[in-house]
Amino acid sequence: MQDFNANLLNVLREEAEAAIKRGDTESGKALYAQLLRLSYPVVEEQVRKDPKIIVAIMAEAARPGPPGEAAQVLLSHLDKKGLVP
């Protein structure tokens, strides 16, 4: 598994949410995009171990706004990797 910093991922998520709350959706989307790029390998590994995680990602993707959009991007990535049934 690729090394990753869970604290960094959490900070990126918190900053993305804070940006969106203050109305800076462009920055929020950019932070979510960075979060996704860093977490792809980790999520891929977890989905391979437990494919039921896809259901949670699909539920998140149904949410409106940047969090849902980020989940849609992740879902699309996982689909391209052949990890979505």
pLDDT in tens, 25-38: 999 989 988 988 88
The verdict on residue 19 lying in a domain is yes
Cβ atoms within 10 Å of 13's Cβ, excluding its own:
16
The verdict on residue 59 lying in a domain is yes
The verdict on residue 34 lying in a domain is yes
Distance CA 1, CA 51 (A): 17
The verdict on residue 85 lying in a domain is no
The verdict on residue 66 lying in a domain is yes
Distance CA 7, CA 29 (A): 19
Assessment of whether the complete model's pTM goes beyond 0.75: no
Domain holding 29, by residue range, is 6-80
The verdict on residue 35 lying in a domain is yes
Q: What are the Cα distances from residue 11, in Å, to 18, 47, 49, 75? A: 10, 23, 26, 22
Average pLDDT over residues 47-68: 90
The verdict on residue 65 lying in a domain is yes
The verdict on residue 1 lying in a domain is no
Number of domains in the chain: 1
